[in-house]
C-alpha cells in the first residue's frame, strides 16, 4: 500500500513538473499566404521543444506552445527568421527572405496587395 502511494506521488510530481515547463505565447510573424502558413508551422513543429504552432494569416499571429526547458522564446524568433519570416524581435536575413517563393514576399507591397 505504501509503495502504491509513493508511486502515485512520483507520477503526479513528474506530471506537474512537466506541465509547468510548458509555456504558451502569441507572437507576430510576417507572411501573406497559405504557403507561408505551412512553412512557418511545419518548421516550428520540426523544432525540438515546440509542441504546437498555429499561424493565422489574417492577423499574422503565431500561437506557439513550447517547453521552455528545451527552447526559449528568443530561439523561436531566431528560428522563424532563419526560414525567411520577420518577427517583432528578429528580422529575417536577406538570403533567407530571398529564398521565399515570389507569392510569399511579404515585404513587397504589390504581393501583399494581391493577397487581400
Q: Report, as an integer, the average pLDDT of 17-40.
A: 89
**Residue 86 in domain:** yes
Total Cβ atoms within 10 A of residue 10: 10
**Residue 43 in domain:** yes
**Residue 18 in domain:** no
Listed in sequence order, the residues at least 6 apart from 89 whose beta carbon sits closer than 8 Å to its beta carbon are 27, 74, 77
**Residue 7 in domain:** no
Range(s) of the domain holding residue 40: 23-114
Q: Please state the pTM of the whole predicted model.
A: 0.81
**Residue 92 in domain:** yes
**Residue 3 in domain:** no
Q: How many domains does the chain have?
A: 1
**Residue 79 in domain:** yes
Could you tell me which residues are beta bridge partners of residue 65?
Answer: 24, 52
What's the mean per-residue pLDDT of the chain?
A: 89
Distance CA(15)–CA(115), nearest Å, equals 44
* Per-residue model confidence (pLDDT) at position 21: 84
Distance CA(81)–CA(96), nearest Å, equals 8
CATH code of the domain in which 68 resides:
3.30.70.100
Contact 28, 77 (CB under 8 A): no
**Residue 47 in domain:** yes
pLDDT digits (tens, 9 = 90+) for 63-104: 999 999 999 999 999 999 999 999 999 999 999 999 999 999
- Spell out where the chain has E strands: 22-28, 50-56, 61-67
Total Cβ atoms within 10 A of residue 93: 12
pLDDT band at 7 (very low <50, low <70, confident <90, very high): low
Amino acid at each position: 500500500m505504501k509503495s502504491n502511494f509513493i508511486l502515485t506521488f512520483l507520477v503526479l510530481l513528474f506530471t506537474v513538473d512537466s506541465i509547468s515547463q510548458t509555456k504558451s505565447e502569441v507572437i507576430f510573424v510576417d507572411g501573406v499566404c497559405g504557403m507561408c502558413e505551412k512553412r512557418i508551422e511545419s518548421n516550428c513543429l520540426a523544432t525540438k521543444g515546440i509542441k504546437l504552432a498555429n499561424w493565422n494569416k489574417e492577423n499574422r499571429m503565431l500561437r506557439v506552445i513550447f517547453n521552455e526547458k528545451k527552447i526559449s522564446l528568443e530561439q523561436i524568433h531566431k528560428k522563424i527568421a532563419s526560414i525567411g519570416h520577420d518577427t517583432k524581435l528578429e528580422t529575417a536575413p536577406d538570403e533567407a527572405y530571398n529564398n521565399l517563393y515570389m507569392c510569399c514576399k511579404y515585404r513587397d507591397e504589390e504581393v501583399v496587395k494581391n493577397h487581400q
